[in-house]
Amino acid sequence: MKTKFKDLTIWITGASSGLGEALAIAFAKKGATIILSGRNEDKLEAVKEQCKKSKNHHIVPFDISDSEQTQAAYKSAINKAGKIDWLINNAGVSQRSLIMETSEDVERQIMELDYFAQTRLTRLVLPAMLEQGGGKIVMISSIAGLIGTQYRGAYSAAKAAIHLWANSLRAELYDQGIEVATIFPGFIQTNVSINALTGDGSALGTMDEATSKGLTASEFAKQVVKALSKGEEYIIVGGRQERMATRVNRLSPPKLYKLIRQSQVR
């Protein structure tokens, strides 16, 4: 059945830039009503202005790592939009540091943002979705959550955790009308590596070469919109190298990790 986007209200976190910005613009173009969230209200307003029929969309700024702000944001989203049909959990942070150089506090910070913040917001949204007869939860994991590589130990762990949590959610609530999709981006041209945390918690501050050569955020969004509109639940979006790696991993993990050990991943 074709998705009727004009009837949907979609809440997107991390919508002030990168993947979230591209998804907001793409879904608005399809006719959906968008709730845009992130920490920076000015940036959210700028993204909203890029969305088709910008007056139809809503801004709900908050810090997703703060549980009280998250609860207030949910109430604000409902008050402004009336309902939430899809929740796209996109907010998060990446990592660029070796395991032996990363403090436990930094690992906890990554897990809080990339796992606990996502599950917390999802549990807030689900009761109303169930009451209205259904909805869709979308988790942004990562190919790093399928394939652990150097410099991404905690990030890979968090993204793997959210992937498996989503699998369990799908199994538990499918017969109650809740659809769950997980997206696994590869290298996409965003600020993800610039904002990535290093071992002491500071931002890397530079774009790595692989990210700069990745897919554009708009191409990522185009593929995601198409896949979600078809009801796909397991969506890998990346270049040839990343897609090949996931296939090799399914066939022979030892072979893949031999290649990873020999690669210059950063």
What are 138-152's pLDDT values in tens digits? Answer: 999 999 999 989 999
Q: What is the pLDDT of residue 1?
A: 64
Q: How far, in Å, CA of 105 to CA of 103, rounded?
A: 5
Please write the tens of the pLDDT for every residue from 199-234.
999 999 999 888 998 999 999 999 999 999 999 999
pLDDT band at 258 (very low <50, low <70, confident <90, very high): confident
Dihedral sign, Cα of residue 80, residue 232, residue 118, residue 120: positive
What amino acid occupies position 259? L
DSSP 167-182: HHHHHHHGGGTEEEEE
Given the residues 74, 115, 151, 155, select the one marked as catalytic. Answer: 155
Please write the tens of the pLDDT for every residue from 51-94.
999 999 999 999 999 999 999 999 999 999 999 999 999 999 99
In contact, 260 and 147? CB cutoff 8 Å: yes
User: Residue 52's CB: how many other CB atoms inside 10 A?
Assistant: 15
The domain spans of the chain are: 5-241
Cα 58 to chain centroid, rounded: 19
What's the CATH superfamily of 5-241?
Answer: NAD(P)-binding Rossmann-like Domain (3.40.50.720)
Q: In percent, how much of the chain has pLDDT > 90? A: 86
The reply to whether 155 belongs to the active site is yes
User: Residue 211's CB: how many other CB atoms inside 10 A?
Assistant: 20
**In the block, which residue shows the tokens 């207030």?**
72
Q: What angle do CA 105, 121, 47 make, to 5 degrees?
A: 95
pTM over 0.85: yes
- For 149: left if phi > 0, alpha if psi spans -120 to 50, otherwise beta; the answer is beta
Indicate whether 11 pLDDT > 90.
Answer: yes
